Amino acid sequence: MTIMRYKHSMRILGIESSADDSGVALIEASGAFGKDFHFKVLANEVASQHHAEYGGIFPNVAKNEHIKNLPLLLEKALLNDEKPDVIAVTVGPGLAPCLWAGITFAQKLAQKWNVPVVAVNHLEGHIVMSMMKDAALAAIEYPVLALLISGGNTQLVLSREPFRYEIIGKTRDDAAGEAFDKVGRMLGVPYPGGAELSRLAAQARAEGLVADFKLPRPMLHEDNYEFSFSGLKTAALRIVEKAGNVSDELRKRMARELEESIADVLVSKTLRAVEAYGVTTVVTGGGVAANTFIRAQLEAALSQAGVALLVCPPQLSTDNGLMIALPGYFHALQKDFADPMTLRANPDLVLGEKE
């Protein structure tokens, strides 16, 4: 994408519905991708769903919740009833029924207001969100390496220039967040398990509890940037079955060992890619990026290597409309608009592909 200058401000409405969080945000932004870019958050409304009884996201239930929540969030976001200049909506990757809820909503609004629509890749949203600091763009030196870690994705993505992406490594099976959730389920921790396991792991460290077992560090020493976390679930299951009874102490020890295993792999692979590609800036985004221990381990390792780490605030690491509105603005600058009526959900959309 060629970055062009834009002298006037734009109001962008961001709509996110790729999984179980409904998000609607309104920003006012101006300037090109660089030092003159600034934005103001006029609204950022999120409605989170709870799918604990299903042990995971139930797509059709989530879709219906999005259909119910999005108009309510829009009403909160547009208190003065002023229409935006552009609508940005997530088209993938994600769960198809959920994506369609947001797309259909955007289509209706575009028709009602007669404003253009930008199709946004959810993963690009996490990257761009993590590049922001104090309502502006953080100091960035290319090439940039992005570590995306969530319930559905674990990827290392190289950008040699803004808005150009090359996936250099990804998970071959379970994502990091998925490993947390699956192990949490076998330990009797409510879904989603990541936040609770992180809390238990912190307790284990505070109490000096160390596991008397060792979980694998999958693909840690392989000469690539690929990930694989399904083996962690299998290894944890064997330990739980052998114990017979899941005690509070076992939960804490397992949570600590699991968190440290995942952190070891993420940090090691990221550092290896940093060295191979001459990277001086790393950004990380996605729900697992809110994990305090993983963030701290990444920051310490990258700081020692002389590499800057950009991470958005934890409350913005999970899915929201703001992370869609921001890349939507930069695409709108280039008039990279989509025909609202031919928009389609793409659950397997790859970062860098045309939405």
Q: What is the mean pLDDT of residues 72-93?
A: 92
Question: Element (H or E) spanning 199, and its range?
Answer: helix 194-207
Q: What is the pLDDT of residue 52?
A: 53
Greater model confidence, 296 or 8 = 296
Say yes or no: 150 and 299 in one domain.
yes
- Residue with the bigger pLDDT between 195 and 328: it is 328
Domain tally, the chain? 2
pLDDT of 145 over the 50 cut: yes
- pLDDT on residue 8: 73
Torsion of CA 74, 113, 103, 149, to 10 degrees: -60
- ω into residue 93 within 30 of 0, thus cis? yes
Answer for the pair 62, 81: CB distance below 8 angstroms, yes or no.
no
- Between 46-50, 118-122, 132-136, the lowest mean confidence (pLDDT) is in 46-50
> 211 and 236 in contact (C-beta within 8 Å)?
no
CA 125, CA 134: separation in Å to the nearest integer?
A: 17
Q: Which residues pair with 46 in a beta bridge?
A: 23
Q: At what angle do helices 59-77 and 96-113 cross, to 10 degrees?
A: 30
Q: Are 172 and 276 found together in one domain?
A: yes
Q: What does the DSSP assignment read for 221-282?
A: TSSSS-B--HHHHHHHHHHHHHH-S--HHHHHHHHHHHHHHHHHHHHHHHHHHHHHHT--EE
The verdict on 42 and 154 lying in the same domain is no
**Pair 206, 292: CB distance under 8 Å:** no
Q: Are residues 323 and 250 part of one domain?
A: no
For range 23-33, the mean pLDDT: 97
Quote the pLDDT of residue 6. 43
Task: Provide mean pLDDT across the span 258-264.
Answer: 97
Q: Quick one: 207 and 322 in the same domain?
A: no
pLDDT average, residue stretch 2-9: 53
Q: What is the pLDDT of residue 355?
A: 56
Q: At residue 288, does pLDDT exceed 50? A: yes
pLDDT at position 3: 42
Task: Give the per-residue pLDDT at 56.
Answer: 65
For the record, the structure tokens of 82 come out as 């002023």
Distance CA 185, CA 187 (A): 5
Q: What number is the average pLDDT over the span 248-274?
A: 97
Hey, what are 7's tokens? 């002298």
* 348: in domain: no
Write the pLDDT tens digit of every residue in 148-181. Answer: 998 889 999 999 999 999 999 999 999 999 999 9
CA 118 vs CA 131, 140, 312, 330, 343: distances in Å: 20, 25, 23, 10, 10
For residues 109 and 171, state if they share a domain. no
Q: Could you tell me if 153 and 265 lie in one domain? A: yes
CB 147 within 8 A of CB 310: no
What mean pLDDT value characterizes the chain? 93
Looking at residue 92, what is its pLDDT? 97
Whether residues 104 and 189 fall in one domain: no
**What is the CATH number for 26?**
3.30.420.40
Q: What is the pLDDT of residue 55?
A: 59
Q: Is residue 347 part of a domain?
A: no
Average pLDDT value for residue range 218-232 = 94
Do 239 and 188 reside in the same domain of the chain? yes
Q: Is the pLDDT of residue 7 over 70?
A: no
55-81 mean pLDDT: 88
Q: What percent of the chain has pLDDT over 70?
A: 95
Q: What is the mean pLDDT of residues 20-35?
A: 95
What residues make up the domain containing 187? 139-316
- Mean pLDDT, residues 95-109 taken together: 97
* 98 and 211 inside one domain: no
Establish if 91 belongs to a structural domain: yes
Distances in Å between the Cα of 144 and the Cα atoms of 20, 283, 293 are 29, 7, 23
8-state DSSP, 305: T
